[in-house]
Structure 1
């Protein structure tokens, strides 16, 4: 995978990770490291979605409560990344970003109905699609704007 250079983050301070024989510099990422970071950010946005939902419905804010709400959508995100091979197009809004939102919500709803006490009412499907759409597509837009190498 190719290396990404982020010009505005360059520094002479060595990054604690080592790539090959040389220490990596701040702002220099291998493609896999950047893709992994962007996947973690997507997952964190899903956890934020679960936290906000639990808070608004008063269903508990413990880590277990949030994880029990988020896990179907985290599985959906993982399936979506694998099906779209998103590691190679982590900033793409169309079609990969839209497909990722759709798969994440669809798989999340199916797993939620099959394995949890949660339902999949139309209002929840619409709110989840809108919220995750703003979060996941917004992250892709910011990635596209901030990392010229992702264009």
Structure 2
């Protein structure tokens, strides 16, 4: 058990923080790109950025509020707060900037962002547990 704690504590290195932050950004951009591809094909790069920015701002808020840099791969201390920040702040910013916020989109965003932002942390936690056995 102490070996697992050591591995988890070691995850707060600068490289791990950077990798987790980059992963969050890339996954939010992927979420936006998938949605844009399904609904709007014009201006692919600008359109993805327009769709993604509220969720990226929300993820940043989640990072700050939870101090995710302390345990960036933790499901509970980073994954859930980053997911909820990206979702809640993202939807609020979309509403404030007259972007679409309808129930089906909120449901899809809730599920997709959870799978992306919490999912990879769950997979990494499972891998660490398997390696420690």
TM-score (norm 2): 0.81
Hey, which bits of structure 1, 4+ residues long, moved more than 4 A?
none
Structure 2 unmatched runs, 5+: 1-5
Equivalent residue number for residue 118 of structure 1: 99
Offset at residue 36 of structure 1 (A)? 1.0
Structure-2 separation of matches of 1:92 and 1:50: 24
- Alignment check: 8 A CA contact 2:71 2:77 kept: no
Equivalent residue number for residue 9 of structure 1: none
SS in structure 2 opposite 1:90? coil
> Which residue among 102, 108, 111 is the counterpart of 1:127?
108
Offset at residue 60 of structure 1 (A)? 3.0
TM-score (norm 1): 0.72
Structure-2 separation of matches of 1:30 and 1:106: 26
Task: Compare 44-53 and 29-38 and name the one that shifted more.
Answer: 29-38
Structure-2 separation of matches of 1:100 and 1:30: 16
- CA distance 1:48–1:61, change in 2 (3 Å): farther
- The structure with the largest strand share of the pair is 1
Offset at residue 61 of structure 1 (A)? 5.3
Aligned residues: 123
Structure 1 unmatched runs, 5+: 6-27
- Alignment check: 8 A CA contact 1:42 1:139 kept: no
- Greater relative contact order, per chain length (Cα 8 Å cut-off, separation 6+): 2
Equivalent residue number for residue 143 of structure 1: 124
